Amino acid sequence: MGPAYEGIDFGMAERTIIKSAMSALNIDRNYFEKEFKKSGDLGQTVESFKKLYKSFEEKDMEVLAVFDFFYKLATASGNGSQDVKVSLLSQLIRQLDPLSGRYLVRLPTGIIRLGFSDMTILDAYSWMLKGDKSLRPIIETAYHVRPDLGFIGKMLKEKGIKGLEEIEPKAFTPIIMMKAERMSSAKEIIKQIGKCLVEPKFDGFRLQVHYLGSDPRRGSDPTESLPKVRLFSRSLEDVTYMYPDIVEGVKKEVKADELIIEGEAIGYNPKTGEFLPFQETVQRKRKYDIGAKSIEVPLKLFAFELLYLNGKNFIKKPFIERRKALEQVTIKNKDISKQIIVVDHQEEVDKEERLEEIFDQAVAKKLEGVIAKKIDGIYQPGARGWNWIKYKRSYSSKINDTIDCLVMGYDFGKGKRTDFGMGAFLVGVRDEKNDKFVTVAKIGTGLTDEEWRFLKIKSQISKLKDKPMNYSVDKAMNCDVWISPAIVVEIKADEITKSPTHTAGLALRFPRLEKFRDDKKPEDVTTLEELQHMTR
DNA sequence: TGTGTCTGCCCC
DNA sequence: ATTCTGC
DNA sequence: GCAGAATGGGCAGACACA
């Protein structure tokens, strides 16, 4: 309905779309869901049902009229709004042809499956103007600062490529954030980027800070001249109101006329100064009770990038220059414990031994790991660039904490997993005290296409009609198919966390298949007690 | 007023 | 977030 | 090597409903 950062959501996904389709086509839930699971695609399911049951209401509709329906749907709120959404989508499904039906239901899910996406559309804009994709770099640069395909297209039609030159970094226009590539040893990193600057990696959430210092020239209204701060999340949502403590910190501890910096926000225990686990930090992302929560869980912002300063664009400057500028714009509080905007220590490294040491120290401090940044690397907006390399605890071959799990059941896959007949599987450990299997994770990654097919075939032998008595499973983890104790897998994870849904009371963070353990029997899997001891 | 279900270009 | 795969 | 498409745990918020 618009660019992501404008914050207009459909508020409607799979479950509610199914309701709309059932109501539009007058189909029983079980029948619809059965066909949906078979095809793994809501669009295809609706399309084929529409072909089967021809409707006499079908008519042509203007694109703008359809847009209007979706706009009403997306903006419906309050009492009865769910019914409004269902009814609007249901009308569209009834009134349009089967092929349109396919895309009507795909649209709100965001999975359109046209085989192209934003980047291809940028190419198309270039073709539109020049008949080839030579203008793509200019267009893409503008898109990084203004990630709105509609806006870029309109600008190009109205003003041509020159229009895009007006789009440049400035305070309060968020920039698509860069991500780091991954590597699993100091050796590889030094080989890849040579001399680098190494900094700790904190487990919080990303914030991009935009700041305009006080300036009497900014208008006659006295409030106009006060310092202004905006905070953007990784999806470029404006989240300023959620973090008043960070806003105050910026006003006190940053000196500049205009700047854009980036950092990782992490909660800490105000009494002990210890950093909090992600699950607690993320509770700060909220709409209500902001004041109370900000006292309970205060944040620090570890600033690690500077993209813009006083009219000067730093995006294409070497990292070492950005870093120097960053150090210069922060004011140090006399009481370090009260500092909110922190530019943490960083070390220049060109030997793998030293890098490995810094990594070990970071891990010992219970941090996620380190980020190594190429010393003269530019900031690559919107890319997962090689100028930043993350080296996390879980990647390291030195540390190998995997657990052996029992495969308890599986779900049918969607999209390209449909053919495999499996999209994810539920795994658990043995609770010896109660003689049961309790769940710890669902696994949806780490298998090659061939391994998915292999696991599907293997699991058919043990397929069951119902969930076994000795499986303890929360209903949120219900499976399409249950299988009896037979298959053992080795699962890797970044961390073991407390869980509200998995019956082990613990869950694996970022779980993935490491390997199949055909050499092990169900009795040999990790026990709940062992798992509890592994929790750091 | 309390509980359950669903959603999020969510956060990671 | 992680991982795999087609281009 | 990149972009795209599968999938994970778990949080707050918005509604529906009893």
Contact present, A11 and A29 (Cβ < 8 Å): no
A509 touches strand C (CB under 7 A): no
Contact present, A51 and A41 (Cβ < 8 Å): no
- Output the distance from A324 CA to C3 C1' rounded to whole Å: 36
Continuous segment of H or E residues that includes residue A441: strand A436-443
Contact present, A392 and A399 (Cβ < 8 Å): no
Residue A173 lies in a domain: no
- Output the distance from A270 CA to B3 C1' rounded to whole Å: 34
- Output the distance from A483 CA to D5 C1' rounded to whole Å: 27
Domain boundary among A71, A88, A109: A109
Non-local CB neighbours of A357 within 8 Å, separated by 6+ positions: none
A229 touches strand C (CB under 7 A): no
Non-local CB neighbours of A60 within 8 Å, separated by 6+ positions: none
Residue A372 CB neighbours (<10 A): 27
- Minimal CA–CA distance to A421: which of A31, A29, A37? A37
Domain range enclosing A136: 121-166
Instruction: Let me know whether A276 and A374 are in one domain.
Output: yes
Residue A397 lies in a domain: no
- Minimal CA–CA distance to A205: which of A166, A157, A243? A243
Catalytic residues of A: 201
Instruction: Let me know whether A477 and A497 are in one domain.
Output: yes
Contact present, A264 and A308 (Cβ < 8 Å): no
- Output the distance from A511 CA to D10 C1' rounded to whole Å: 14
A371 touches strand B (CB under 7 A): no
A6 touches strand B (CB under 7 A): no
pLDDT of res. A26: 95
Q: Which residues does residue A426 pair with via DSSP β-bridges, in sequence order?
A: A409, A442
pLDDT of res. A221: 84
Residue A461 lies in a domain: yes
* Parallel, antiparallel or unpaired: strands A299-309 and A196-201: unpaired
Strand C bases near protein CB (under 7 Å) are 1-6
Measuring from the CA of residue A508 to each C1' atom, give the nucleotide at the shortest distance.
Answer: D9
Instruction: Let me know whether A414 and A385 are in one domain.
Output: no
Instruction: Let me know whether A152 and A76 are in one domain.
Output: no
Q: Which residue has the tokens 């300023």?
A: A240
Cα separation of the two ends of chain A: 44
| Local structure of residue A532 (DSSP, 8 states) | H
Q: Give, in order, the Cα–Cα distances in Å from A5 to each of A154, A155, A229, A242.
A: 18, 19, 17, 16
Instruction: Let me know whether A219 and A354 are in one domain.
Output: yes
Global pTM value: 0.95
Residue A280 CB neighbours (<10 A): 15
- Minimal CA–CA distance to A432: which of A470, A473, A403? A470
Give the integer Cα–Cα distance in Å for A7 and A242: 15
Q: Which residues does residue A182 pair with via DSSP β-bridges, in sequence order?
A: A390
Instruction: Let me know whether A361 and A422 are in one domain.
Output: no
- Residue A476: which CATH number? 2.40.50.140
- Residue A318: which CATH number? 3.30.470.30
Q: Which residue has the tokens 């940028």?
A: A122
- Output the distance from A9 CA to D2 C1' rounded to whole Å: 29
Instruction: Let me know whether A102 and A137 are in one domain.
Output: no
Residue A506 lies in a domain: yes
Measuring from the CA of residue A440 to each C1' atom, give the nucleotide at the shortest distance.
Answer: D9
Instruction: Let me know whether A235 and A378 are in one domain.
Output: yes
Non-local CB neighbours of A127 within 8 Å, separated by 6+ positions: A133
Residue A135 lies in a domain: yes
Domain boundary among A348, A366, A391: A391
Residue A194 CB neighbours (<10 A): 12
Residue A244 lies in a domain: yes
- Taking the CA atoms of A193, A197, A198 and A204 in sequence, report the sign of the dihedral they define: negative
Instruction: Let me know whether A259 and A373 are in one domain.
Output: yes
Residue A114 lies in a domain: no
A335 touches strand C (CB under 7 A): no
Instruction: Let me know whether A322 and A459 are in one domain.
Output: no
Residue A507 CB neighbours (<10 A): 20
pLDDT in tens, chain A (536 residues): 777 777 789 999 999 999 999 999 999 999 999 999 999 999 999 999 999 988 788 999 999 999 999 999 999 999 999 999 999 999 999 999 999 999 999 999 989 988 778 888 898 899 899 888 889 889 999 999 888 888 999 999 999 999 998 888 999 999 999 999 999 999 999 999 999 999 999 999 999 999 999 888 888 788 888 999 999 999 999 999 999 999 999 999 999 999 999 999 999 999 999 999 999 999 999 999 999 999 999 999 999 999 999 999 999 999 999 999 999 999 998 888 899 999 999 999 999 999 999 999 999 999 999 999 999 999 999 999 999 999 999 999 787 789 999 999 999 999 999 999 999 999 999 999 999 999 999 999 999 999 999 999 999 999 999 999 999 999 999 999 999 999 999 999 999 999 999 999 999 999 999 999 999 999 999 999 999 999 87
- Minimal CA–CA distance to A425: which of A482, A486, A493? A482
A184 touches strand B (CB under 7 A): no
Q: Give, in order, the Cα–Cα distances in Å from A498 to each of A155, A267, A278, A480, A508.
A: 49, 18, 11, 25, 9
Number of domains in chain A: 4
Residue A116 lies in a domain: no
A184 touches strand C (CB under 7 A): no
Instruction: Let me know whether A250 and A366 are in one domain.
Output: yes
Instruction: Let me know whether A355 and A282 are in one domain.
Output: yes
Where would I find the H helices in A96-220? 98-109, 118-130, 136-145, 149-159, 161-165, 186-193
- Minimal CA–CA distance to A461: which of A397, A407, A382, A512? A407
Give the integer Cα–Cα distance in Å for A429 and A437: 6
Strand D bases near protein CB (under 7 Å) are 2-16
